[in-house]
Amino acid sequence: MAMIGGGKNAFIGAVHRIALNMDGLMEMVAGALSSNADAAIESGKELFLEESRIYTDYKTMLEKEALMPADKRIDFVSIVTPNSVHFEPAMMALDKGFNVVLEKPITFTLEEAKQLKEKVVATGLQLLLCHTYTGYPMVKQAKQLVKNGALGKIRKIYVEYPQGWLSTFLEGTGQKQSAWRTDPKQSGKAGSMGDIGTHAFNLAEYISGLQVTQICSNLNIVVEGRLLDDDGAALLKFNNGATGVLMATQIAAGEENNVKIRVYGEKGGLEWKQEDANSLLVKWLDKPAEIYRTGGGYNSSFAAHNTRTPAGHPEGYLEAFANLYRNFALTLGAKIDGEMPKEEWMDFPGVEEGVRGMAFVDNVVASSSGNEKWKAFEV
Amino acid sequence: MAMIGGGKNAFIGAVHRIALNMDGLMEMVAGALSSNADAAIESGKELFLEESRIYTDYKTMLEKEALMPADKRIDFVSIVTPNSVHFEPAMMALDKGFNVVLEKPITFTLEEAKQLKEKVVATGLQLLLCHTYTGYPMVKQAKQLVKNGALGKIRKIYVEYPQGWLSTFLEGTGQKQSAWRTDPKQSGKAGSMGDIGTHAFNLAEYISGLQVTQICSNLNIVVEGRLLDDDGAALLKFNNGATGVLMATQIAAGEENNVKIRVYGEKGGLEWKQEDANSLLVKWLDKPAEIYRTGGGYNSSFAAHNTRTPAGHPEGYLEAFANLYRNFALTLGAKIDGEMPKEEWMDFPGVEEGVRGMAFVDNVVASSSGNEKWKAFEV
Amino acid sequence: MAMIGGGKNAFIGAVHRIALNMDGLMEMVAGALSSNADAAIESGKELFLEESRIYTDYKTMLEKEALMPADKRIDFVSIVTPNSVHFEPAMMALDKGFNVVLEKPITFTLEEAKQLKEKVVATGLQLLLCHTYTGYPMVKQAKQLVKNGALGKIRKIYVEYPQGWLSTFLEGTGQKQSAWRTDPKQSGKAGSMGDIGTHAFNLAEYISGLQVTQICSNLNIVVEGRLLDDDGAALLKFNNGATGVLMATQIAAGEENNVKIRVYGEKGGLEWKQEDANSLLVKWLDKPAEIYRTGGGYNSSFAAHNTRTPAGHPEGYLEAFANLYRNFALTLGAKIDGEMPKEEWMDFPGVEEGVRGMAFVDNVVASSSGNEKWKAFEV
Amino acid sequence: MAMIGGGKNAFIGAVHRIALNMDGLMEMVAGALSSNADAAIESGKELFLEESRIYTDYKTMLEKEALMPADKRIDFVSIVTPNSVHFEPAMMALDKGFNVVLEKPITFTLEEAKQLKEKVVATGLQLLLCHTYTGYPMVKQAKQLVKNGALGKIRKIYVEYPQGWLSTFLEGTGQKQSAWRTDPKQSGKAGSMGDIGTHAFNLAEYISGLQVTQICSNLNIVVEGRLLDDDGAALLKFNNGATGVLMATQIAAGEENNVKIRVYGEKGGLEWKQEDANSLLVKWLDKPAEIYRTGGGYNSSFAAHNTRTPAGHPEGYLEAFANLYRNFALTLGAKIDGEMPKEEWMDFPGVEEGVRGMAFVDNVVASSSGNEKWKAFEV
């Protein structure tokens, strides 16, 4: 595979590479790692790429790689650039016959996301969208518990994602991660809601199997001088009649990366938080609460498939991330081999989740700026 | 003191009596414990009241007690009846010169609450409103941390109160606690929002020292057949520009009584939840999080004053409740002795909190039924 | 009832009074609250005792109270003096026909404990020994789970009790609590092992229903200048073949009062710690762990009987303490009424536990000073 | 690098490979993956090794690889065979000039460990012993806090390692992991104490910087028919006068892999448990407890160096394992480049820890079978 973006000092590029390497299933053999030619070359060398496959722009890379023999050329590209540079390389990669891995949010605009979806459908290629939190074994387990009806009909969903790292005007210091994330030209129309709100939204729909139909939101710019929302909350209605609350903020001073979700049904509720990722708490109406644990023999095949070590050996963020890649690669491999991928393998977020994520950004921003309480969730 | 309501099988009446008894500062000597004469008498006997001071209606009690000599007659009454029977006995008690303890919400309507406030002001008597959670030592500590500026300017408040005990149509089974709480004639215009939402609202204003100015709410009746909201959430704006989210539900199957609050300022955030009531977690932007603990020598005088045992001996709900009574009694005692009560003693919820609580009920219901996003919080 | 010791500034005396008051079942009407006459009188007045029943020595009190008519005189005495002043007042109280409540350890020596046991048996009176931790609802539940065989045969017990308050030479500052606890003349032959080790020992035997038969201990004086052990640990063998470890220390700087016990059987293990007293964690060999909670409808009658509030309203140390008194009082009341006390009422620690506790002190000290690994646990 | 052992279905072999792959610093190019030739070949193919470098016995591999040119031949071997097959391949590898990675316990006997140490010293080669838990960032932080004197003089250490997976006679079912671990011929003279007790022992010495000097232990065979200890505990004395308790068991039904350590000094105590690996709790004598977190900007350079993701992205067992390999590889790389490795890189367990671990096995077994209380810890 090859990477677009993700050169030196890029947080998420390094994460992708660790995820790629973890299981020895994939190898990064090419890259256009920076829009700056020198940085691209330097980064490529540091990562031991063959010089001939270190590219200084992604277009050249996609063109040249497409001309290579099938057994040599890359199978897929991972695009880990700022949001504004997702759409074009993804479209071109698909056009050239490459499968695609994309960071979220999938594109810069909802319109682009829809076009990308059409392209994916038309080409029959695979697209992985990196909603990491869906890769955790206990998130898989949570989804299966809901799906199997253990909780009964779902009535209430609370999902929250507090971070604190943007509590000060960090972008004013030149800090790279904050600079692009708070810049409308690179991030799009939403700040925190695009960066982390989309994760929360995806997690809620993924675990519950429901879809948001109405939204009532309030976005704020808390830190003076900032150009995009750094805080927000939304009331939600789901397509089965359930309601919910979504909270996402990057100005909760002292919080790290505290994603948490609670889903309540008629018979009980489940609770998962990333800080204690290997436990899934299930509270019951009429019996003692239970703690499902990564590696437990009682877990579903979906949780088990995404577990690498025996119970009691904590798996973390990188393993969850690697699970996305592994499922994507296994699915890809099966397709290449002409076999049917297992259901557990195909359980990774793709272009449909990308479109809904972009729609979330559009709707949460539109609702916040309007005076009406409820806004229909439009895609 | 005397009790109005709170006869046999009344949950909160028993709690009041334990709180009263705990420190040996007060004694229950009279009671009109039920509107049913037989039950009133039976309950009074079970509680070892003198027969002459077991009353079958509160009016008679207040009249007769008022005629007793000062050293014999009661100092105050505790009114623990359903919401619809708060106002009249409270007004009459004040008129007769008795101080008053009331369960929340303080009255049936906001208008009554305002009248009661006028009466309290006019008589110069004391009123205690039982917002129990403000009696916890670590809630006191939280308030002091905010007040002393440790967190910097407050930016965000999350307060939540999930319960699960009304997940089914319990009132249909004749269960007493659920029957009156879900009956508009006894509870007023709100169900869960009146019962527990008011606690959450009070806790947020108490700890932050801020006031809600705008509200955007969504209340739901989740369980079929129910007549009042059993679930709801609200987006909030506070008078310093901070925003917040309030969640209160009684249909979160599996939850017990899970009050939790988080308050974030520029420098850090605090987190308190009743399930772990003796810890106060304070997360800092740039240093390790801290855990304040009940009984810690480093705590404020407000926390220390409300602590009965050395660190590591958990204090619970009954102690928090008893703290309200103790502070009320100490303040009363000082006034009787013509002394100035300590600041720590006077730190208990009163009629002002009652008025704001009723305003919360009015505003949260009005906002929910309207189409506009924000409703000004009117008192 | 009446109290011996427990005057002003006495920690445990105040705790006993709160416990007494909590349920309105008992009333303190007399006291010999200090061996210092002035202090005894002053303390009695502060507690609103009738002047005629404020005594300056316990002998006079016991004699005078014994002469009162049955409906007026006390039913029992609570002895909350240092260990060296337990035996004589307890013996005299029993001789005078009064039931007795005692702080642990029950006496100064094992020999005294045995004599006291004989006296209790001979008089047929009741004795309550205040092993507070056995009063917690979830400790009751733990005992019942073991008793009912849910865990299978018990194999391993870990019990620990770390405190940190004696990390410095506190007794050198004149601090009262530390002064008598570290003084062999007042505390007996053990320091920490008598003060808190006995609690740990009792908790292990209480929950497991087993008895220690062999012990291998190491006691230490960590803080220079101290006269009694402030730290220690012991390997244990139980009468069913199970083994265990007991740790008790008062020099674990930063620890408050962190009692914890784990009991493992063939099918699973349970874990209870006082810092989270309302949860009982039960881990199973082949299914998700469960969390039993105070107030849960699924609990045993023993747990339910010792619970005052609905689930989710934390009960703490004072409620656990009050449970001891309540069960003692209920049992006493039944006996007075000529009725059979319920099994749940009679489940409080008594003289037998006191004898075993003193034997623990003897054996743990003897083992520590010997060179042989195992010492038979002799009573 | 090459691997000896660790073919199909081997738990720890797969873990080593993930750790190797994680950072892209090392590549597995050869292997003698099983003592069964067919299995060795099949496993090698599955791992995409070149056929020429799939070996059916380690001796051939070491000989052939040694003959390759320097830029092609392996730098080191990872030996992941049962304990009985550690010494010979390690000695031969060192003799052939290869660095060595070994699973713990390092050898079958203490004598072998000492010989291996001499060989390592003589050859000047590197040896990594996989005490995984020392690779966690918060364990590094714990060690630095002790080293920097933050806790004052260390007084007490509790270390525990409960597992439950050997609660039944699993080896009787043919389960591979349990079969060799409970077989004296493959595991050596200790069962649980060798398998996990050595980890606990190492963790205590690593964090505290102290050494055990006296031991008093009790080992048990709890499950009938088992040939080696499956449970045990030991009282410890350290070389600075501190004391401790070590508990290790594999029959604590319901426990997963619950390593935990507490170290108390004069000023405070620290607590780390693998189930919550990214938090380090530090309790202070006179101020609020603190929670150090992986990724916190306030951490030492040792913790920071061993962290891959920003705060709030949990790192787990595999990252801790990979940290061992990364530090080993960085140290190796520096040596090859003639540079001085950084102090943070060289902080990995080696042959000295291996010798002490084997001495622990010897001493803990000898103490358990003796009648004297204390046994000097001999190396």
Say if residues D283 and C253 touch (Cβ distance below 8 Å): yes
DSSP string, B122-158: HHT--EEE--GGGGSHHHHHHHHHHHTTTT-SEEEEE
Q: What is the pLDDT of residue D197?
A: 98
Chain A contact set for D312 (CB, 8 A): 163, 255-258, 274-275
Query: How far is the C-alpha of A62 from the C-alpha of A4, rounded, in Å?
Result: 10
Q: What is the pLDDT of residue D176?
A: 83
Query: How far is the C-alpha of A341 from the C-alpha of A328, rounded, in Å?
Result: 10
How far does A48 lie from chain D, in Å, by closest CA? 9
How far does D17 lie from chain C, in Å, by closest CA? 29
What separation in angstroms does the CA of C303 have from each of B87, B292, C141, C345? 38, 30, 5, 11
Mutation for testing the C interface, residue in B71, B161, B313, B323 having most C CBs under 10 Å: B313
The predicted model gives D67-80 an average pLDDT of 94
Residue B9 reports pLDDT greater than 80: no
* D97 Cβ under 8 Å from any chain C Cβ: no
Say which range, B183-192, B220-229, C196-205, has the weakest mean pLDDT.
B183-192
| Interface contact D293-B288, CB threshold 8 A | yes
> Across the interface, which of C282, C288, C296 has its CB nearest the CB of A292?
C288
The encoded tokens of residue A63 equal: 């063109």
Residue A9 reports pLDDT greater than 80: no
* B176 Cβ under 8 Å from any chain C Cβ: no
Residue B106 reports pLDDT greater than 80: yes
Q: What is the pLDDT of residue B111?
A: 97
Q: Which amino acid is at B353?
A: E
Question: What is the tens place of the pLDDT at every residue in D191-246?
Answer: 999 999 999 999 999 999 999 999 999 999 999 999 999 999 999 999 999 999 99
Chain B contact set for A371 (CB, 8 A): 372-374
Q: Scanning every residue of chain B, which has its alpha carbon at the shortest distance from the alpha carbon of A371? A: B373
| Interface contact A249-B156, CB threshold 8 A | yes
| Interface contact D269-C255, CB threshold 8 A | yes
DSSP string, B312-353: TS---HHHHHHHHHHHHHHHHHHHHTT-PPPTTTT-S--HHH
Distance from the Cα of residue A56 to its chain's centroid: 27
Query: How far is the C-alpha of C34 from the C-alpha of D312, rounded, in Å?
Result: 56
Chain C contact set for B321 (CB, 8 A): none
Q: Scanning every residue of chain C, which has its alpha carbon at the shortest distance from the alpha carbon of B162? A: C312
B12: confidence class by pLDDT, cuts 50, 70, 90: confident
Q: Burial level of C83, CB count in 10 A (0-12/13-18/19+)?
A: buried
Question: What is the tens place of the pLDDT at every residue in B230-249?
Answer: 999 999 999 999 999 999 99
Chain A contact set for B220 (CB, 8 A): 243
* D145 Cβ under 8 Å from any chain B Cβ: no
Question: What is the tens place of the pLDDT at every residue in D28-42?
Answer: 999 999 999 999 999
Quickly count: other Cβ atoms within 10 Å of residue C95's Cβ: 14
Question: What is the tens place of the pLDDT at every residue in A168-198?
Answer: 999 999 888 888 889 999 889 999 999 999 9
A158: confidence class by pLDDT, cuts 50, 70, 90: very high
Q: What is the pLDDT of residue A180?
A: 87
The predicted model gives B22-51 an average pLDDT of 92
Residues 190-249 of A with CB under 8 A from B: 216, 218, 220, 222, 231, 233, 235, 243, 245, 247, 249
The predicted model gives B212-232 an average pLDDT of 98
Q: What is the pLDDT of residue A48?
A: 87
B179: confidence class by pLDDT, cuts 50, 70, 90: confident
How far does C250 lie from chain D, in Å, by closest CA? 11
Task: Between D178 and A311, name the one with better pLDDT.
Answer: A311
The predicted model gives A327-342 an average pLDDT of 96
Quickly count: other Cβ atoms within 10 Å of residue C85's Cβ: 18
CA atoms C160, C163, C169, C172: torsion sign: negative
| Interface contact A288-C293, CB threshold 8 A | yes
Question: What is the tens place of the pLDDT at every residue in A251-261?
Answer: 999 999 999 99
- How high is the ipTM of this complex? 0.96
Mutation for testing the C interface, residue in D161, D243, D263 having most C CBs under 10 Å: D243
Question: What is the tens place of the pLDDT at every residue in C255-300?
Answer: 999 999 999 999 999 999 999 999 999 999 999 999 999 999 999 9
B174: confidence class by pLDDT, cuts 50, 70, 90: confident
Chain D contact set for C245 (CB, 8 A): 233, 245, 247
Q: Scanning every residue of chain D, which has its alpha carbon at the shortest distance from the alpha carbon of C281? A: D254
What separation in angstroms does the CA of B347 have from each of A121, B136, B273, B353? 65, 12, 20, 12
> Across the interface, which of C151, C289, C373 has its CB nearest the CB of D373?
C373
Residues of chain C with pLDDT under 50: none
The predicted model gives D353-374 an average pLDDT of 98
Question: Between B and C, how many residue pairs show a Cβ–Cβ distance under 8 A?
Answer: 104
Chain A contact set for B233 (CB, 8 A): 235, 243, 245
How far does D326 lie from chain B, in Å, by closest CA? 27
Chain C contact set for A288 (CB, 8 A): 282, 290-293, 296, 298
Name A265's bridge partners: A154
Q: What is the pLDDT of residue D23?
A: 87
Q: What is the pLDDT of residue B8?
A: 78
Chain B contact set for C313 (CB, 8 A): 257, 274, 316-318
| Interface contact B289-D290, CB threshold 8 A | yes
Query: How far is the C-alpha of B328 from the C-alpha of B76, rounded, in Å?
Result: 10
What separation in angstroms does the CA of C372 have from each of B344, C214, C367, D372? 57, 12, 8, 5
Q: What is the pLDDT of residue D59?
A: 97
> Across the interface, which of A252, A283, A371 has its CB nearest the CB of B156?
A252
| Interface contact D317-A314, CB threshold 8 A | yes
The predicted model gives D320-330 an average pLDDT of 97
> Across the interface, which of B252, B264, B285 has its CB nearest the CB of A156?
B252
Residue B10 reports pLDDT greater than 90: no
How far does D264 lie from chain B, in Å, by closest CA? 18
Chain D contact set for B287 (CB, 8 A): 298
Residue B341 reports pLDDT greater than 90: yes
| Interface contact D296-B288, CB threshold 8 A | yes
Mutation for testing the D interface, residue in A18, A139, A161 having most D CBs under 10 Å: A18
**Strand bridging mode A289-293 / C289-293:** antiparallel
Q: What is the pLDDT of residue D9?
A: 74
> Is-above-0.90 flag for pTM?
yes
Name D234's bridge partners: D217, D246
How far does D367 lie from chain C, in Å, by closest CA? 9
| Interface contact D18-A15, CB threshold 8 A | no
Q: What is the pLDDT of residue B279?
A: 98
Question: What is the tens place of the pLDDT at every residue in A11-64?
Answer: 788 899 999 989 888 989 999 999 999 999 999 998 889 999 999 999 999 999
| Interface contact C290-A293, CB threshold 8 A | no
Residues 18-47 of B with CB under 8 A from D: none
| Interface contact D21-A17, CB threshold 8 A | no
| Interface contact A298-C287, CB threshold 8 A | yes
Chain A contact set for C289 (CB, 8 A): 290-291, 293
**Percentage of residues in chain D with pLDDT exceeding 90?**
90
> Across the interface, which of A274, A308, A311 has its CB nearest the CB of D318?
A308
Q: Scanning every residue of chain D, which has its alpha carbon at the shortest distance from the alpha carbon of B294? A: D288
| Interface contact C312-B47, CB threshold 8 A | no
Q: What is the pLDDT of residue A295?
A: 97
Question: Between B and D, how many residue pairs show a Cβ–Cβ distance under 8 A?
Answer: 30
Q: What is the pLDDT of residue C189?
A: 94
Residues 275-314 of C with CB under 8 A from D: 282-285, 289
Adjacency order of strands within the sheet including D99-102: D30-32, D2-4, D76-79, D99-102, D127-129
Q: Scanning every residue of chain D, which has its alpha carbon at the shortest distance from the alpha carbon of A161? A: D312
Chain B contact set for A265 (CB, 8 A): 253
| Interface contact C318-B319, CB threshold 8 A | yes
